[in-house]
Amino acid sequence: MSEPVLRAAARPQLRLRTPGGEHRAQVETILRDTAVFHDFEIDIAIEVFDAFLANPGQDYCALGAFTQDGSLVGYVCYGPTPCTTGTFDLYWIAVAPAAQRTGTGTRLLQEVERRLARSGARLVLIETSSLPRYEATRTFYARRGYAVTARVPDFYADGDDRLIFAKRINASDVRQTRQWKPGKTSFEEA
């Protein structure tokens, strides 16, 4: 019966803020513990996290979900899509297994969308695989308003297609969302 307790405890106490170099090891641990990512994907995720640390907000932005004691339990990495106007890629969103099913991923995603809407973004893209092991990932995005806008057959490997999820965002949508659910979110601005 540990999970319901953990859910109740984790939901109200999360704080969202920008992670720093001191969280690099925790980021890597979360990526490994999800058991979703290949080693080479984790290597790339860490390279990207380092690029974010070197120039925060230039090519990459990051946002972390922290417990009251300061432990990182989830993080998201996103950034402007090169050669586009107002399009952003959400590169990774990962939540530690113990903090999954507590709304952590949803809060990270909503906060990213809120920040992007404020910065004039039009479109958020998320790419993932068509393989069965990514079904939970695809369902997560589909339930949060993302739809498959394109599919590249055999992209990752033969039989492993690239699915591109897209969601249009704009400032008024985000303001409405926040009016509908007052008090449900409390963020520390980075």
| Residue 34 or 106 with smaller CB distance to a second copy | 34
| Residue 142 or 150 with smaller CB distance to a second copy | 150
Residues near a second copy, by CB under 8 A: 40-41, 44, 81-87, 122-123, 125, 149-158, 162, 164, 166
**And the tokens for 131?**
């393989």
Q: Write out the E strands in 20-86.
A: 61-66, 72-80
CB of 110 to a second copy, least distance (A): 22
CA separation for the pair 148, 97 (Å, rounded):
26
Half-sphere exposure of residue 42: CA atoms within 13 angstroms, side-chain side: 16
Q: What is the DSSP letter of 144?
A: T
| Residue 104 or 130 with smaller CB distance to a second copy | 130
| Residue 3 or 47 with smaller CB distance to a second copy | 47
Residue 176, number of CB atoms within 10 A of its CB: 10
Give bridge partners of residue 123 from the DSSP assignment: 87, 168
| Residue 44 or 46 with smaller CB distance to a second copy | 44
Residue whose C-alpha is closest to residue 12's, from 100, 103, 95: 103
**Is-contact 163 129, C-beta < 8 A?**
yes
